[in-house]
Amino acid sequence: DLDSPPLEISGPQEARQAAQTFNLMQRKIREQMQQRGRMLAAVSHDLRTPLSRLKLRVEQIEEPRLHGQMTQDLNDMISMLDATLAYLNEHRRSEGLQQFDLQALIESQAENAQDNGDDVQYEG
């Protein structure tokens, strides 16, 4: 969970190093997601502003057929923009959480370290 507090930096050197690395990764992911959110908001604003101006200008068109066609085109563009931004926002929220077996990951890393000749033990 990106909103959970950072891990406590304590214990043996390997545990402290792992906690520091995890905390750094968590912070970087959180910053990237915040930056992505700001970018989506900016894109939304930048695209909606000219569409709103066009909509106001279309309202000045007196010829009914042309007015109707242009209004429909603008509404289609706004709907596509809304759908795209909704998809990107939903995708942003859903990618935040992913479950995995932490114990298996730690055991695997401990085994790799042992294979490399490091004196590592895992007690789970």
When pLDDT is averaged across residues 13-22 and rounded to a whole number, the result is 90
29 occurs within a structural domain: yes
Q: Are residues 76 and 50 in the same domain?
A: yes
Nearest-CA neighbor of 11 among 108, 122, 115? 122
Is the pLDDT confidence value at 120 over 90?
no
32 occurs within a structural domain: yes
* Percentage of the chain modeled with pLDDT above 90: 35
Q: Are residues 104 and 81 in the same domain?
A: no
When pLDDT is averaged across residues 13-19 and rounded to a whole number, the result is 89
4 occurs within a structural domain: no
Q: For the chain, how many helices (H) and strands (E)? A: 3, 0
Q: Are residues 88 and 112 in the same domain?
A: no
2 occurs within a structural domain: no
The per-residue pLDDT for range 59-107, each reduced to its tens digit, is 999 999 999 999 999 999 999 998 888 887 776 555 555 677 777 888 8
Nearest-CA neighbor of 44 among 9, 107, 86? 86
Structural domain boundaries enclosing 105: 96-123
Q: Are residues 48 and 29 in the same domain?
A: yes
How far is 104 from 93, CA to CA, in rounded Å?
26
CATH of residue 67: 1.10.287
Q: Are residues 53 and 39 in the same domain?
A: yes
* Percentage of the chain modeled with pLDDT above 70: 92
How far is 68 from 93, CA to CA, in rounded Å?
37
116 occurs within a structural domain: yes
